[in-house]
Structure 1
Amino acid sequence: MTDTRYRPEDQIGAVASNTVPIRDLGVIGDRRSAAVLDRMGRILWYCPCRFDGPSLFAGLLDPKGGEWRIEMAGAEAGPRRYIDGSGMLETTLTSVDGNLLLCDWMTSGPQAPTGVLVREISTAPAPVRIVLDPRPGYGRRRPNIKVEADTVTIEGMALHGSHRLKAEGDSVVMSLPEGEAGWMALSDGPLSRPERAKIDNWRGHTLGHWEELDAALDYTGVFAEEIAASLRAIRLCTHEESGATVAAVTTSLPEVPGGTRNWDYRYVWLRDAGMIVSALLRLFGRDREGEAYLRFICRGSGSSDRYPMAVFTDLDGETAPRETELPLEGWRGARPVRVGNGAADQLQLDAYANVVLAAKLLYREGSAEGLAHWDVVQDICDFLCANWAEPDHGIWEETPPRHYVSGKVVAACALESAAEYGSAAEAAQWRRVAAEIRDWITAHGLTSEGAYAVYPGVEEVDVTAALFPVWNFCDADTPEMRATMTALERDWSPDGLLYHRRLECADGHDEGVFLAAGFWVAQYWVMRGDLERAQAIIKAGIAQANDLGLLSEEANPRSGAMLGNIPQAFAHAGLIGAVFDLNTALEARAAETQERQDEVGSNG
């Protein structure tokens, strides 16, 4: 008798779960949490209920960490896409027998239940097994699985399927015969068995919810598809209830292959506020999502005993958990695997200053709440006045602390911005301190070449300086900025289009290029009026995205490999900002050209 049981080697495209290229990862979510899939439709990372909670599947970081896979002999990865601008992902598996389509999504919107992960499987061209291997608590525990009538419970979570579910050891299996379609639904709490019509109803409401989010988007300029993809990525990182946006939905995907720079990015950083709020405001004008994000950030006031607030928080606005290491193998052996983050109580001047800049953007657009959170802005400005001269850990959260020039630059810009809205006494004080900071930078913050130094006494520059004109610290064509950009291209750009960051505790050249940085440089060249150069830099950054338009933190442009956690909200916000600035400048140039042509025509 022929043995027709599935064997892992039968699935041609399958590789060990923790060796899947980061470029192959896709993300679905319900704006509470997210699940990460590879091109074979395996769910390799999922934290029920919330982004920063313990995982149920951690196969991305350990082959024994748990996964939810589709088994079909001879299957290979085919094309995939997000459906109609939503966060619902369709994946095609190909085989000699025909194609299998998977549609993976998480219920969203007020008319759908909360916390249900749905997997829809098209008519099977050959026998298919869907295998759920849960490993709760970041893969550290065996699951508690119970089979009761037509429901399987896993750690209190309800699992239903179109066909009979069977427990096989620590796994749950559903077999789908050839010629039949099916579905599975995993709820993060109790759930009665849904019928197919109910699944279809949830699907419609979920699509409708994503369509409603996009209803206000009316952007038709250059890179419109990339703008839409980046907006989706930011929303997949956004916790809708609180307004918080996490830096990424994953932890411990390394910045250096096989290295130790592996961090947990499932938290909310203050410094991201300015760029993300700016991106949303540019797309939508006065934006409720941007306002919600700032509201969440300011709610964290009091989350630190030493500073106005912790430099990053969890989804509740509380101090993020201390950093701990997990006994997992790591992505391609990169260890340690970390949860929590040890930088929560660092002094980072730029983080606080970016909250003020984000508030200024909302005030300028006309916040629905007037000068919303002005008391928090006042506290931050007073804190900056009292502490700007202290060494801090900088934008890259380095140790030991230094007098990072970029932190002092953005502190001065924040004080000057807030002065536009403060009382006469506040404005005078904040402008006086900003002037002191500017004098200090002039005296201590330049290299021997006249470029902006990383900190006094070093001859190196960092790509954050490209933001100085964007922050309104200086004009883009000052001698100092010209010298800085010359040094950046010489020392930190492999091709004049993508940029490494300069690190104190490591060699930034050992990492990939930092993707947000290229978009910052593009904004600089827009301000210099070199729109062709800006457009080339943006194209180079976009080329580092995967087929779903997702950007990780870093990339190796020579090999095409992605590095770091994904999707990186910071990078996507940088893309939106750079593209929007470029498009505005292109439209202005076209209008000027048309005006000159009209003048010539009228004179003729």
Structure 2
Amino acid sequence: MRDLAVIGDRRTCALVTTLGSIVWYCPDRFDSPSLFAALLDPQHGGSWSLNLPDATFTNRYYFEDSGVLETAIATANGELKVLDWMPIGEQTPQGICRRFSEAPTDFTVVLQPAPDYARRSPNVQFADDRSLANVVKVDGGGYLYASHPLTISKQTFQSVGLQVHFTIPQGETGWAVLLNQPLPLPTQQTVDDWLTSTLERWRLLARHGAYHGCYQDQVAASVRALRLLTFEETGGIVAAATTSLPEAIGAERNYDYRYVWLRDAGMVVSALIRAERDGLEARQFLDFVCGYDRCSSNNLPLAPVAAVDGKAVPNEVTLNLAGYCNSRPVRFGNRAKSQLQLDALGNVLLVGSLIYSHFETDEHWSIVEAVANYLAEHWREPDHGIWEEETKAQYTVGKVLAACGLMHIAEFARSDAQAQRWRSTEQDIRRFVAEQCLTSGGAYAAFAGSEAVDVSAALFPIWGYAAADAPEMVATMDVLEREYAIAHLYRRHLVEADSQQEGAFLAGTLWVAQYWVARGDLQRTRAILDAALVYANDVGLFAEEADPHTSQMLGNFPQTFVHAAFIDAVIDLNAALEKAK
């Protein structure tokens, strides 16, 4: 997973390896069926690769603050540079563009489509005019155009069946584009113009950036990750680009994260507000949260997760793919869409209060108000918790985030009676937590009656529920350090699985870093940040989890929750450092 980078057009994205293979791509939008899924099944999943003799990775980087990626690959005869991007901007098509520098040796570019998660054989054929040997129609992917004549061949040793390839001779440059729609045959100049438009669009996005300080380059990489995983049309930010990358190799906790979670909203919006000049993308996320279909079988004011167009997430389906490192099942869809998650609804109120206080507005008040009223009426119910357990319980984090949400949104209530009701409910929740949700040692329990704790408690001071040095917080952090930490990385607590079998949870690790800023221990904060950064790859992308024993990245990739948590922790640290000067 470390060798993956992301290119995207703020509708969908593709994952590119260090040797220039595109191993994951869902045309049209993030949660569409895949065309390339070699990431989840190297033999049958489909890819767009380079057959380059004796190739070794040299380096790669993104142009400026864009999603345009250049990869340098060494051979015995010299270096090949591959420029990959997805066009975005005025008068650009949708798809993938690839540009190749002067070839150090003959090499072949090979496209092996596997449409609909490799559930059907591809139909690949030349354009109607057979004189156009540079144009092939690719089932499930659109139209492939190339600088050199294309060949279609059958690969009998693979179930993918058909491949399209072309050769770039030594000393020549080349390009290829896979587009969603038919166009007149592009020229090198056409492709270059699309690159120019794309870079200009990314420059406009970069102008929203405002952060300068410690870990500046790493924060910029995290902001890029959030932008790459934004569905621009609606403002929704998906949890990750992938589905079914395992939380533990060979285990079954493999889920589809290509959707938008309310649970992530507070952290993501906080990061965007603080890392941007104008908060435009943060407000667009609130637009999405409050604008999507209220699609829930449990009569919730908002479902905890939605598709990128704001509609209901598909029912969960198991796919016949081998799985990443043979980790199965492989799924699309997500059954969490019908769960009651109190923390997710509390996040909506946190997002509303952040936007309202920062921009002096009250947009989407009717939805925010409905969520607050729902929490005031239903907070006593057991829910599925922040980790979406099948087993319902009185999860402490859900109670606390409901209380925090009500506390903050009460500042914007339309009447004294409304504010009083929400504040009274907040106090009721606080009494419940104090009486039911503490361990025998006085720490915040993972759920009522439990002696375990969860790393989500590190958020409590961040959202203003408790002082960082409150006895309950001190006791909680002591247990986390003793039982859930290794090498400055922290596990979460799971009810239905042994979290010791999965990796450290990186978002939670970064919440702990942010907690220690509040405690004034900046040296410890830096140690935790540096430990987490070991598990960012060379282009600054985090997966969901990290295995401190094997150094593997685990879980879906890249994970926006982690990137947002990193931004928030660093900005808090930088503010503390500035204050200490």
Short-chain TM bin: over 0.9
Q: SS where residue 92 of structure 1 aligns?
A: strand
Are 1:285 and 1:365, in contact at CA under 8 Å, matched by a contact in 2? no
The equivalent residue for 2:574 is 583
| d(CA) in 2 for partners of 1:90, 1:478 | 49
Tell me whether 1:354 sits opposite 2:354 in the alignment. no
**1:187 positional shift:** 0.3
Q: SS where residue 23 of structure 1 aligns?
A: coil
The equivalent residue for 2:242 is 250
| d(CA) in 2 for partners of 1:300, 1:212 | 27
Segment drifting more, 497-506 vs 78-87:
78-87
Aligned counterparts, 1:350-499, within 5 A: 350-366=343-359, 370-422=361-413, 423-495=415-487, 497-499=488-490
The equivalent residue for 2:136 is 152
Paired residue type of 1:95: T
**1:301 positional shift:** 4.8
Q: SS where residue 49 of structure 2 aligns?
A: strand
Match of 1:86 among 61, 66, 86: 66
Are 1:86 and 1:210, in contact at CA under 8 Å, matched by a contact in 2? yes
Are 1:37 and 1:44, in contact at CA under 8 Å, matched by a contact in 2? yes
Q: SS where residue 281 of structure 2 aligns?
A: helix
The equivalent residue for 1:230 is 222
The equivalent residue for 1:206 is 198
Aligned counterparts, 1:20-99, within 5 A: 22-62=1-41, 63-99=43-79
| d(CA) in 2 for partners of 1:106, 1:82 | 13
**1:74 positional shift:** 1.3
| d(CA) in 2 for partners of 1:410, 1:335 | 33
The equivalent residue for 1:12 is none
Paired residue type of 1:365: H
The equivalent residue for 2:317 is 324
Please report the TM-score for the alignment, with normalisation by the length of structure 2: 0.96
Are 2:208 and 2:277, in contact at CA under 8 Å, matched by a contact in 1? no
1:330-364 Cα deviation digits (max 9, x unpaired): 11110000000011000000001101101110111
Match of 1:174 among 120, 144, 166: 166
The equivalent residue for 1:511 is 502
**1:313 positional shift:** 0.4
Percentage of pairs with the same residue? 47
Are 1:112 and 1:206, in contact at CA under 8 Å, matched by a contact in 2? no
| d(CA) in 2 for partners of 1:129, 1:66 | 16
Are 2:70 and 2:81, in contact at CA under 8 Å, matched by a contact in 1? yes
Segment drifting more, 539-548 vs 577-586:
539-548
Are 2:92 and 2:197, in contact at CA under 8 Å, matched by a contact in 1? no
Match of 1:100 among 71, 80, 105: 80
Paired residue type of 2:108: R
Paired residue type of 1:339: F
| d(CA) in 2 for partners of 1:285, 1:279 | 12
**1:285 positional shift:** 4.8
The equivalent residue for 2:176 is 184
The equivalent residue for 2:158 is none
Q: SS where residue 439 of structure 1 aligns?
A: helix
In the alignment, structure 1 segments of 5+ residues that lack a partner are 1-21, 591-604
| d(CA) in 2 for partners of 1:106, 1:191 | 16
The equivalent residue for 1:139 is 118
**1:315 positional shift:** 1.0
| d(CA) in 2 for partners of 1:112, 1:506 | 49
Tell me whether 1:526 sits opposite 2:517 in the alignment. yes
| d(CA) in 2 for partners of 1:339, 1:297 | 22
Are 1:409 and 1:468, in contact at CA under 8 Å, matched by a contact in 2? yes
| d(CA) in 1 for partners of 2:49, 2:212 | 39
| d(CA) in 1 for partners of 2:198, 2:294 | 36
**1:541 positional shift:** 1.1
Are 2:10 and 2:230, in contact at CA under 8 Å, matched by a contact in 1? yes
| d(CA) in 2 for partners of 1:393, 1:321 | 19
Paired residue type of 1:268: V
| d(CA) in 2 for partners of 1:570, 1:470 | 15
Are 2:208 and 2:278, in contact at CA under 8 Å, matched by a contact in 1? no
Paired residue type of 2:118: G
Are 2:210 and 2:277, in contact at CA under 8 Å, matched by a contact in 1? no
Over 3 Å counting, the alpha-carbon distance change for 1:504 and 1:232 in structure 2 is same
| d(CA) in 2 for partners of 1:203, 1:101 | 15
The equivalent residue for 2:544 is 553
Are 2:152 and 2:164, in contact at CA under 8 Å, matched by a contact in 1? yes
**1:366 positional shift:** 1.2
Q: SS where residue 101 of structure 1 aligns?
A: strand
Paired residue type of 1:456: A
Q: SS where residue 58 of structure 2 aligns?
A: strand
Match of 1:344 among 324, 337, 348: 337
Are 1:555 and 1:563, in contact at CA under 8 Å, matched by a contact in 2? yes
| d(CA) in 2 for partners of 1:517, 1:114 | 39
Are 2:108 and 2:165, in contact at CA under 8 Å, matched by a contact in 1? yes
Q: Where has structure 1 moved over 4 Å in runs of 4 or more? A: none
Paired residue type of 2:107: V
The equivalent residue for 1:241 is 233
Are 2:238 and 2:560, in contact at CA under 8 Å, matched by a contact in 1? yes
| d(CA) in 1 for partners of 2:558, 2:295 | 26
Over 3 Å counting, the alpha-carbon distance change for 1:251 and 1:587 in structure 2 is same
1:153-200 Cα deviation digits (max 9, x unpaired): 112711100111111121111111111000000001222211111111
| d(CA) in 2 for partners of 1:112, 1:538 | 41
CA RMSD of aligned residues (A): 1.0
Over 3 Å counting, the alpha-carbon distance change for 1:47 and 1:301 in structure 2 is closer
Please report the TM-score for the alignment, with normalisation by the length of structure 1: 0.92
Are 1:516 and 1:570, in contact at CA under 8 Å, matched by a contact in 2? yes
Q: SS where residue 81 of structure 1 aligns?
A: strand
| d(CA) in 2 for partners of 1:376, 1:240 | 22
1:201-242 Cα deviation digits (max 9, x unpaired): 111111111111111323220000000000011111111111
